[in-house]
Amino acid sequence: MKFDTPATTNPIDQLKVVGHATDRIDGPLKTTGTAPYAYERHDVAPDAAYGYIVGASIAKGRITSMDLSSAKAAPGVLAIVTADNAGKLGKGDYNTAKLLGGPNIEHYHQAIALVVAETFEQARAAAQRVQVAYARADGSFDLADARAATDRKTTDRNSTIGDFAGAFAKSEVQLDATYTTPDHSHAMMEPFATTAAWNGDKLTVWTSNQMIDWNAKELATTLGIGRDKVHVISPYIGGGFGAKLFLRADALLAALGARAARRPVKVAMQRPLMANNSTHRPATIQRIRLGATKQGKLTAIGHESWSGNLVGGKPENAVQQTLWLYAGENRLTGTRLATLDLPEGNAMRAPGEAPGLMALEIAIDELAEKLDIDPIELRVLNDTQVDPAKPERKFSQRRLIDCMRIGAEKFGWAQRSAKPAQRREGRWWIGTGMAAAFRNNQVMKSGARVRLDGRGMVTVETDMTDIGTGSYTIIAQTAAEMMGVPLERVAVRLGDSSFSVSSGSGGQWGGNCSTAGVYAACVKLREAVAQRAGLDVAGASFAGGMVSAGGRSLPLAQVAGDNAIVAEDTIEFAELSKQYQQSTFGAHFIEAAVDAYTAEVRVRRMLAVCAAGRILNPKTARSQVIGAMVMGVGAALMEELAVDKRLGYFVNHDLAGYEVPVHADIPHQEVIFLDETDAISSPMKAKGVGELGICGVGAAVANAVYNATGVRVRDYPVTLDKLLAKMPSLAI
């Protein structure tokens, strides 16, 4: 099905099942421990051996020797895989560094060996016996230094509209400030984990991965085998946040280990390896220049961002939201990429907008203070209903002002003091802050196969994944709505590369696109059912487990009989995304308390107001948003991968040193979804919402801390050492 004209009235609009707050179908399996994760597939690999990854202990250089003799002689060892004996390996399109290093080392903790043994403990003990000698090479590990060294910097993208330099110079009010965000680590509960088994020349991997089709292709490419020889299965995933979009070392090494040991092998990447071995969100240095009239109209908007990556990697596109969030005739945006020898930087929840808004939305607040204008009113004044670069291109939906107005009323914004450090409760300074939220609505073609059987059951098969987001549930709701059956009459099977190729989970596109693919397949199934029943296809309606047309009604189970009816289709998005700018919007509100003596920060209240098209399941959508809000608090107050700039690695590479929020850090959270549909987005009239929840949270926290104390921090995280020396006098 091609989606090339705006959606009109369709069966989803009935909202008998879709749009209702429904418990996650996979919830009972998760809470009872009966949802098997990749490492737990003992049923399919009962005699599996265990692999333990050996990571490089230098950031750049070469392996000069590797002595495996002691490790091979250790109890239980079955095989040791290295670059020397793994055979010729390719590299997929989505990997910057090789997943199995040697003799060249590209980053710290790059996998250089896999020790396979009968038990995990034996594999771990033997791995300690692998003796590696290196020739260390000099590397570049400091973004600020690399930014200044022109030979290590490349321009990725520049965009200019009008005369930014001239307009900024003539602006009545100017802001020119630099903000930094640190490297961030994915900290999902389930590590990178895979069970692999060969049957002749065919490989099956049970793995934790967000994008099944990508993973299958990349694994085949890396191993140098046909795509038809690789079967990837990933029905349950314990979090991903973007790190599991791509093939990682666990899957490749499990496959190589299973081939070497001639039996199934399980590999779970050790937690201390995850920060340096896998991908992370790169640090940024962002310069923002804003020029405005005294009345608050933006006349010049400049946003430039620097980030680092390995050779062949891409920059963090932190200027992305600045292209569309505010009006302004004269604009400059640019991203710069510095070559660094740190581990690979890549997607992490809301890449681009998440770190970009951490800077931009502080800058907007700073400009509001210079202008003596309320921060919300400044944002309202500079709203735009068209793409600033292409005024003829309208937004499909844009309700940013509604989000801010509704949020302000609900949160009690009117009681906020514009002057900082005015509210005190005992030892706590209290402040309120807000920030706009923006995330582009991306679409990707997605397919599904649906089957109606003689029991009246509808089964959906698609390689879509559920990373804790509720995919099982919203897909079941879609099929139930389309086929007119109760939710319990729908079975959903996900995460298998033998199923129809879906959009996968990533980029906030998964929910909207995967359900649109199910919609397309169900349209075909409805046609097939009506035809078999001898009913008018165009006039057929589906409700209560029946198909009806022209005064006749038949049970779906009777129509299917002994010969199940199967339909398959893919939703393909055409030119609408070029005709309209599709984005999601929101507003975050934060109340923060700062200890007057220690400068410790406590978030006390949080509110997110979201405009993201039709909300397919308010319950699972809310869970997505509040989870993202938690990540936003972490980024604002505590998360930071500390770089050893001498040796080139992230020092705090486990959950003991890399701090993330816990339950005690997070107060009451409230989420409001605006009632809207977007016919330009998909037949579901939905958009993504999971990543919108993190966009702007960091800045809202920083703005609240400033309102509480009068201390402006432009370098994240906002920790007490950056506040303490400038805290207001207790005599105030």
Catalytic annotation, residues: 691
Q: Measured between alpha carbons, how far is 28 from 25 in angstroms, rounded to an integer?
A: 7
Q: Measured between alpha carbons, how far is 182 from 716 in angstroms, rounded to an integer?
A: 7
Antiparallel, parallel or unpaired: β 131-136 and 386-387: unpaired
H or E stretch including 428?
Answer: strand 428-440
Three-class SS state of 398: coil
Q: Are 675 and 564 in contact (CB under 8 A)?
A: no
Cα Rg, the chain, nearest whole Å: 27
Which residues are 177's β-sheet partners? 288
H or E stretch including 355?
Answer: helix 353-371
User: Which residues make Cβ contacts (< 8 Å) with residue 528, sequence separation at least 6?
Assistant: 565, 567
- Exposed / middle / buried, residue 670 (Cβ in 10 Å: 0-12, 13-18, 19+): middle
Which residues are 583's β-sheet partners? 440
CA atoms within 13 A on the CB side of 580: 22
Angstrom distances, CA of residue 516 to CA of 24, 62, 468, 503, 686: 19, 49, 19, 10, 9
Lay out the sheet containing 541-543: strands in order across. 541-543, 546-549, 552-555
DSSP string computed for 88-100:
-----TT-SS-SS
DSSP string computed for 316-354:
--TTGGGGTSS--SEEEEEEEEEE--SSPB---SSTTHH
Antiparallel, parallel or unpaired: β 202-207 and 230-233: parallel
Q: Are 382 and 328 in contact (CB under 8 A)?
A: yes
Residue 525, phi-psi category: left (phi > 0), alpha (psi -120 to 50), beta (remainder): alpha
Cis before residue 182, ω within 30 degrees of 0?
no
Counting every residue written for the chain, the total comes to 732
In degrees and rounded to multiples of 5, residue 542 shows phi and psi of: -125, 120
Antiparallel, parallel or unpaired: β 265-268 and 49-55: parallel
Cis before residue 375, ω within 30 degrees of 0?
no
Three-class SS state of 719: coil
Q: What are the helix (H) ranges across 25-172? A: 27-32, 69-72, 120-127, 143-148, 164-170
Encoded tokens for 84: 């020397």
Q: What are the helix (H) ranges across 534-562? A: 556-560
Angstrom distances, CA of residue 42 to CA of 66, 235, 467, 570: 33, 15, 21, 34
Q: Are 314 and 156 in contact (CB under 8 A)?
A: yes
User: Which residues make Cβ contacts (< 8 Å) with residue 713, sequence separation at least 6?
Assistant: 702, 705, 706, 722, 723
